[in-house]
Structures are given as C-alpha cells and as structure tokens.
Chain A
Amino acid sequence: MDWINAILQGTLLGGLYALFAAGLSLIFGVMRLVNIAHGDLIVLAAYLGLSVTTALGLHPLLALLVVVPVMGGLGYALQRLVLNRTLGDDILPPLLVTFGLSVILQNALLEVYTADPQKLQAGPLETASLTVGPLAIGVLPLLMFATAVLVIAGLQWMFYRTALGRAFRATSDRQDIAQLMGLNKAHVFGLAMGLSLAVTALAGVFLGIRTAFDPAGGGSRLIFGFEAVIIGGLGNLWGTLAGGIILGVSQNLGAQISPGWQILTGHLVFLLILAIRPRGLFPRIDG
C-alpha cells in the first residue's frame, strides 16, 4: 500500500513540476531561449507571495492576484530591456546573461529575506485531505495538479486558437518572415516571457505553500522543470506534464527505498530516459 500511495503522491507532485516546466517550455518553443534564472524566478515569486501575504494579510492563493501580474510585467520588462539584446545565432550571450541573472537574484534574495527558510501559511488547506478507500489524498496536491492541467490546457488553447498563439507560432517558425508580416518580434518575445513568468508565479506560490523555501533553492527547481521538459519531449506541453509525473513518481519511489535517494532517483531516471530516448518520450520539435 505504501508503494501505491507513493505513486499517487508522486503523480500529484508531478503537477507542480509541470508548472515549473511550462514556462521554460513556452519560451524555448517561441524563441529557443533557455533561461537559467528560471528556478530563481520561481523562488522570487514565492518570496513575493510571502511579502504580499504578510503585508496585506491575504491568503496565499488570493495573493496570486498580485503576484501573477507583477511577475508577468517583470517578464515583459526583462525581455524587452535585457534578453532581446542577447538573442541571435550565438547561444553564449543568452546563457551567460541568464546565468548572471540567476546569481544576482539568488544573492539579492539572500540580502533582502536572509537565508532562513520561509513558508507561506495557507491555513486548513495545508492539511485537508479526501479519503478514497484506504488512501488519503491531500486537497492541496490535488489543487496543484488540477491547476497544472488547466494551465497546460490553457496554454495549448492559446497556442492553437488565439491570435497571440498564432503570433507565437509564426515567430517561432521564421522570425524574419513574421516581422515582414507586421509582427513586432521584440513585443511578441516580451509577451512570451511575460506569460512564462505569470505561470512561474503560480508555480512559486504553490511551492511556497507546499514546502519551506530559501534563496538557494532556485537551481534544483530549474533542474526539475528542465528534466520534465526533456523527459516529455521538446515542444510538447502535454508531454511536459507526463515528464513531470514520471519525475515525481520516480522521486517518491526513490524515497521509499531511502530518504537520501529521493532526488537522486529522479535524476537517474532522467539520465536513463536520455540514454534510451534522447529526444524524450513525445517530441514535437527539434532542439
């Protein structure tokens, strides 16, 4: 029964990992940008949630009303002011600039909020659970999973059914032609990063409700999101959800063997999939 429970909890945890990954996948799809600061931005969103809940006395989920637009705006500004200047054939500038951003964010958070682990207080939501037969399912993990499914469905709909999605796909396919057709590349990229960080805001606040976080935790969140993207296959958002679930289940099964093996098992499963299916399980586009 422990094992079935571990698989169930791992699946729900996979929803959170898919939220980590969705923003990463989105900007890679639109502009082939890999944002090394992505994990630190997730942690930043968690801290913003903390500031908003303590300053206004709001429930963390209501704080999303503030955190999501702030992160979205930050993403747009970041792209227009900094990241657009790094895009081109050379992969070095965007990587090194986002790496620098990651180090700056981490240390700025350390100065402002200190190294003490923090947590968002969500009251009875944290412990509420549904009983299904012999299993207890937490309401919070269920909510996270449902949010992940909704976010991915929403992104999928946006990509294939809206004018914004058409602009994203057009710029992704051929930047110069899209520009000729009257799309402003710089603006489209700004919107993509804004949307990416809006999703990141959701991920950060859920992360903060679920576990304690500290300024140094960005790296591992980036890595979990990245592993979900690669396991699922590049350019496939539903694949990313599947990747997140595989990662979450692997970690929870590893934890059943020994608590020290939890994270390591996730990494090893990722490397195994990379060895046997280098393009992931359900690839759509080439890296």
Chain B
Amino acid sequence: MSPDMSRMTTPPAGLQVSRATPASRLAGIAALILLPVLIAAPWWAGSFGLRLMGEFCLYLALATLWNLLAGYAGLVSVGQQAYVGLGAYAAFGLAMLADVPILWAVPLAGVIGLLLAVPVAALIFRLRGAYFAIGSWVIAEVFRLFAAQTTSLGGGSGISLAPEVVKSIAATRPLREALSYWLALGAVVLVLGAVFLILRSRRGLALTAIRDNELAARSLGIDIWWTKFSVYIVTAGLTALIGALIGLQKLRISPDSAFSSNDWTAFVIFIVVIGGIGTLEGPILGTLLFFLLRETMADLGSYYLIALGIVAIVTMLKAPQGLWGLIRARWGLELFPLSRRVRGPNP
C-alpha cells in the first residue's frame, strides 16, 4: 500500500461511505435516554433490584471483554477467572494491608492486572491455537493456589473486607449500595465504550482482518503478535478492574469463589456464545437472556448449568453466530455503527 493511499480518507467521487444506520442512530438515542434512568436507579429500584442490576452490569462487562478476546482476537481463554480473582485480591490487599483508600484500590487493581498480564502473555502466547486455552487455565490455577497461600488475606478460607474499610466506602448502607451500583454501571459503560472505540480504530480493523484471514492480514503488514498481545493485556487489566468491583459488591473473597471457573468463565462463555460471538450486541442480548433464565430457573441448581451448556453446544453447532447473528441475518440490524457501507451514485 503506497503512503498516499493509506492516508486517503475521502472515497472516490460519487461514492459515499457511512457507518451509521437508522437502527444505530435509534439505538444511540435510546442509550442516551436509558443512561440517566439507570443512573437514577437508586431512587426507583429497591435494594434487591439494585444488587441484581449491579451484577448484570458486571457480567455484561466480563462478557464484552471475553468476546473481544475470543470473538475478535481469536484468543480463546478459558482462564479469565485468573484476572477476576487477581483484581479482587489486589483491591482487598491494597485496602486492608497497605491502607490504600478502597476507591483508589479498584483502579489500581486494574493496573496490577494489566502489568501482570505482560509476563503471562509472553509465556502462554508460546502455546499455539487450542493449547493456549488450557494454558490460560493453568495460569488461573497458579493464581488461585498463590491466593490460597496468602495467609495475610485469609489463606484457603478467604477473608471479609474489614468493617472499617466497609464504612469508609460510604457512611450508610443504602449509600454504599448505591455507590457500588454506580461503580458497576460506570465500569460497564467504560468497558463497552473502550471496546467500541478499539474496534472502530485502526487496531480494530487489524483485529477484524486477523479474525477473517490471518495469512492475508499478515501479508498486509499487520503485526499479529503485537495486536493480539495488546488486546490480551488491555482485556486483563479491565477484567481485573471488574474483579475488584465484584469483590467490593460481595465484601468477601476466597480462593474458590474469586477464581471460580463456573462463575467467571463458564457463565461468561455461555452468555457470549448464545448471544452471538464476534458482535458487540451479542453479549448484551446474552446477558439479558442469562439473567432472565437465572431469575426463573435459579432453584434448579446444576440443571440450570446443564441446560445452558446444551443450549450453547447446539448454538455452536447449528448457529455459530448466535442469536444476534440470526437477528442480523434476518433483518440486517446493527446497533453499534461498526461496519462500513458503501453507497454508489443512484443509477
């Protein structure tokens, strides 16, 4: 590609390139209306509803991040619980052992996740393709076993956030619950925004190219290792941030729950696969469906997980693009203006 071609921003005469569609404009307006309503939730939702909505936000954030990793960068990790747990442990450790104010400890936990992901990526990127998946699981196990050895944070049985730290979040319980919800809402807006911007940027274009054809992408001069590496560490940092918020919501950490493979990986993968992998809308649809099913089938216990697993397998075999893929194929809907449409002059 010659330099002046790569800088070319205006399409040839008569052609128009647009990203926005009527549906995406409508979705944007709906989001602008919805956001203040969601911010005001502490005034209209009860304690239970607030907690549920906070959890919804955190799951949506995790699903969006895993989707960026597996659906766009082709890094199928089954060990993202490593960073969820790391974030929770880092935030608790900073707040309880180093006396860092808890609201500072949360973003710092994200930074720790990002920094630790650098050597981890350097190691497990040596495992190609499918073996990368199991390698990521080994990392999660190593993190969990280290957490179980950290006696200052309760060792194998875990620890509750110290009462004085809990009080430092906010003076009253309703205020603390509202704050915890706002943080979760802020986090999911941050994650969705960040992933959207990444996908719209040059790097996002490179990612999509790699996803569609790695060889062709490489021959166009895309540095595949670096592109995947940067996605991995950014995802790890944001996942650790979400992990810290999960710890803050539960007020308790233990190696088995903070690094739970079922809670932070199985559910998240099922959400993305059923909703639609490789689309930004898929995880949103998947998370909505997941919470709807969970609130109606929660008492079924492990049958719920079995059912989700079967639905995910059938989706993968029969409609690999997921529910959103089916909707998009049927009606051409796109809520996030990501793909480009070229319109020629009217004949």
Contacts and interface: CB of A to CB of B under 8 A. Distances in A.
Given A111-B303, A230-B131, A287-B127, A99 B138 contact: no
Interface string A243-267: 0000000000000000011011001
Contacts of A85: 317
A198 B302 CA distance: 28
Contacts of A75: none
Interface in B246-267: 261-262, 266
25 contacts: A32-B130, A34-B131, A82-B317, A85-B317, A86-B317, A91-B130, A92-B76, A94-B130, A100-B309, A100-B313, A107-B302, A107-B303, A107-B306, A108-B306, A111-B302, A111-B306, A226-B134, A230-B131, A264-B145, A267-B141, A271-B123, A274-B124, A274-B127, A274-B135, A287-B127
Contacts of A93: 316-317, 320
A278 B308 CA distance: 36
A34 B134 contact: yes
B336 to A, nearest CB: 21
The 10 A-B pairs of least Cβ separation, nearest first, read: A34-B130, A107-B302, A278-B126, A104-B309, A287-B128, A100-B313, A100-B309, A264-B145, A103-B309, A226-B134
Interface of B is mostly: helix
B145 A263 contact: yes
B148 A274 contact: no
A184 B233 CA distance: 43
Interface in B122-181: 123-124, 126-131, 133-135, 137-138, 141-142, 145-146, 148-149
A111 B307 CA distance: 13
Contact of B134 (A107, A222, A263, A264): A222
Given A86-B316, A100-B312, A275-B123, A260 B129 contact: no
A260 B134 contact: no
A28 B149 CA distance: 35
A155 interface: no
Interface residues of B, number: 42
Interface residues of A, number: 42
Given A85-B317, A93-B316, A264-B142, A219 B137 contact: yes
Contacts of B126: 274, 278
Contacts of B308: 103
B61 interface: no
B73 to A, nearest CB: 12
Interface in A67-99: 82, 85-86, 91-97, 99
Contacts of B134: 34, 36, 222-223, 226
Interface of B: 70, 74, 76, 78, 123-124, 126-131, 133-135, 137-138, 141-142, 145-146, 148-149, 261-262, 266, 269-270, 273, 277, 302-303, 305-306, 308-310, 312-313, 316-317, 320
A223 B313 contact: no
Of residues B137, B302, B310, B312, which shows the largest number of chain A Cβ atoms within 10 Å of its Cβ? B302
Interface of A: 32-34, 36, 82, 85-86, 91-97, 99-101, 103-104, 107-108, 110-111, 219-220, 222-223, 226-227, 230, 260-261, 263-264, 267-268, 270-271, 274-275, 278, 287
Given A36-B133, A260-B149, A287-B128, 13 more contacts: A34-B129, A82-B317, A91-B76, A93-B317, A93-B320, A96-B313, A99-B133, A100-B310, A100-B313, A107-B303, A111-B303, A111-B306, A219-B137
A223 B142 contact: no
B139 to A, nearest CB: 8
Nearest to B122: A275
B145 A95 contact: no
A115 to B, nearest CB: 10
A25 to B, nearest CB: 11
A96 B145 contact: no
B313 A82 contact: yes
Contacts of A271: 123, 138, 142
B289 to A, nearest CB: 16
Majority secondary structure, A binding face: helix
A96 B146 contact: no
B266 A103 contact: yes
A22 to B, nearest CB: 16
B138 A97 contact: no
Contacts of A111: 302-303, 306
B127 A104 contact: no
A260 B148 CA distance: 8
A108 B134 CA distance: 22
Given A85-B317, A108-B306, A227 B138 contact: yes
Contacts of A270: 138
A70 to B, nearest CB: 21
A135 B81 CA distance: 42
A260 B255 CA distance: 13
A92 B316 CA distance: 9
Contacts of A34: 129-131, 133-134
B145 A97 contact: no
A223 B138 contact: yes
A223 B141 contact: yes
Contact of B138 (A100, A260, A267): A267
Nearest to B304: A107
Given A95-B133, A110-B302, A274 B145 contact: no
A86 B308 CA distance: 19
B313 A97 contact: yes
A92 B132 CA distance: 12
A246 B127 CA distance: 19
Nearest to B133: A95
Most buried by A among B76, B141, B146, B309: B309
